[in-house]
């Protein structure tokens, strides 16, 4: 039972790592969003 | 070192790390595991809720952000809310003296899930980061610092006053209800809370040692009312106040397999 839970968590973790690895290009888009002013957040639009 | 001091040090460290973006090279494309506005002029990471809304606007599935939140969640559940979130830290400061007087009920816990659905739905329909226009974390960490650093950048318009109103309301309610935002409204808390069920880190309750004094529930800022929910409830932020308060050492942090 515990072994099955552990394997399930490991599988979940690995799938999340794959999700990131396969979409690593999103990093640059997020970096751009962080670098530029979010008008909604600062209350100007 | 006492657990409470460790928690306070971690919260200060998380706040400093979140603001390393004042050095340009530290503005990264990683998403942080808590609600810290990327509109802050010093932000080093992206706010997951803001980033997800932007991806919805671009008609893309936010897999990078989902994967990041998944890893944070599986490893530490909702511990980031209790140990790192700067907005949660503000709530800890505001509700320092009112925990025992705070509302005990967990009614309306589901409102944060409605807020999450509304956030995603409105981004899809309006093609705008609608939640960010009201977010009190953005008001405090982005709108105010932005005005202080760039006073000539824009006039004080309607959206700025909406930000100030939501922040003022949140502060007043946080003074009356401990961790008000985290308990009832935080959409990121809704996501992170779901991982408490599968997270590796948990708080273990040794029923044999427990004398049922309920000191642990008295100090709980999230007002968890059942012992069996400590560590596994979607509301538990794994802050460890209950662990500190237990005279019998019946509660402890545990890595569960």
Question: Which of B186, B129, B54, B30 is closest to B194 using CA atoms?
Answer: B186
Check B46 against A17: CB less than 8 A apart: no
- Look up the ipTM and state it: 0.91
- How far off is chain B from A1, nearest CA to CA, in Å? 10
Summarize pLDDT for B114-152 with one digit per residue, the tens.
999 999 999 999 999 999 999 999 999 999 999 999 888
Q: Helix/strand/coil (H, E, C) string of B59-123?
A: CCCCHHHHHHHHHHHHHHCCHHHHHCCHHHHHHHHHCCCCCCCCCCCCCCCCHHHHHHHHHHHHH
- Cβ <8 Å between A38 and B257: no
Residue A16 Cα to chain centre, angstroms: 8
CB B128 within 8 A of CB A40: yes
Distance from CA of A3 to the nearest CA of B (A): 8
C-alpha closest to that of B63 among B27, B103, B31? B31
**Cβ within 8 Å, pair A27-B132:** no
State residue A45's pLDDT score.
75
Across the A/B interface, how many CB contacts are shorter than 8 Å?
134
Provide mean pLDDT across the span B49-60. Answer: 96
Q: Which of A16, A29, A35 sits opposite B27 (nearest CB)?
A: A35
Give the span between the Cα atoms of B251 and B249, in whole angstroms.
Answer: 5
* Domain span including residue A33: 2-42
pLDDT more than 90, % of chain B: 78
Name the residue of chain A whose CA is nearest to B60's CA. A26
Helix (H) or strand (E) holding A15: helix A2-22
pLDDT at B24: 87
Domain count, chain A: 1
| Structure confidence by residue, pLDDT tens digits, B82-97 | 999 999 999 999 987 6
pLDDT in tens, B190-242: 999 999 988 899 999 999 999 999 899 989 999 898 888 888 889 999 999 99
Query: So what's the pLDDT on residue B225?
Result: 87
pLDDT at residue B105 is higher than 70: no
Model confidence pLDDT, tens digit, residues A7-44: 888 999 999 999 999 999 999 999 999 999 889 999 88
Say how far apart CA B65 and CA A19 lie, in whole Å: 9
């Amino acid at each position: 039972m515990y072994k099955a839970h552990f394997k399930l968590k490991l599988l979940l973790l690995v799938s999340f790592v794959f999700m990131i690895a396969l979409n690593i290009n999103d990093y640059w888009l997020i970096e751009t969003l962080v670098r530029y002013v979010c008008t909604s957040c600062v209350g100007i639009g | 070192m006492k657990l409470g001091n460790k928690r306070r040090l971690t919260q200060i460290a998380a706040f400093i790390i979140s603001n390393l973006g004042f050095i340009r090279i530290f503005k990264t494309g990683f998403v942080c595991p808590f609600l810290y506005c990327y509109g802050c002029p010093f932000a080093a990471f992206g706010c997951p809720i803001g980033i997800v809304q932007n991806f919805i606007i671009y008609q893309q599935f936010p897999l990078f952000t989902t994967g990041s939140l998944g890893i944070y969640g599986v490893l530490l559940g909702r511990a980031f809310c209790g140990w790192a979130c700067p907005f949660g830290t503000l709530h800890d400061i505001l509700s320092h003296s009112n925990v025992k007087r705070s509302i005990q009920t967990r009614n309306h816990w589901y409102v944060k899930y409605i807020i999450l659905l509304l956030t995603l739905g409105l981004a899809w329909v309006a093609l705008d980061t609608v939640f960010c226009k009201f977010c009190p974390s953005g008001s405090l960490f982005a709108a105010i610092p932005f005005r202080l650093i760039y006073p000539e950048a824009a006039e004080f318009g309607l959206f700025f006053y909406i930000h100030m109103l939501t922040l003022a309301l949140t502060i007043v309610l946080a003074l009356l209800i401990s961790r008000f935002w985290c308990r009832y409204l935080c959409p990121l808390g809704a996501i992170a809370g779901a991982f408490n069920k599968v997270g590796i880190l948990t708080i273990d309750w040794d029923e044999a040692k427990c004398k049922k004094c309920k000191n642990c529930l008295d100090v709980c800022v999230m007002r968890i009312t059942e012992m069996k929910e400590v560590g596994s409830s979607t509301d538990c932020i794994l802050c460890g106040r209950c662990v500190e308060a237990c005279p019998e050492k019946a509660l402890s942090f545990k890595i569960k397999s």
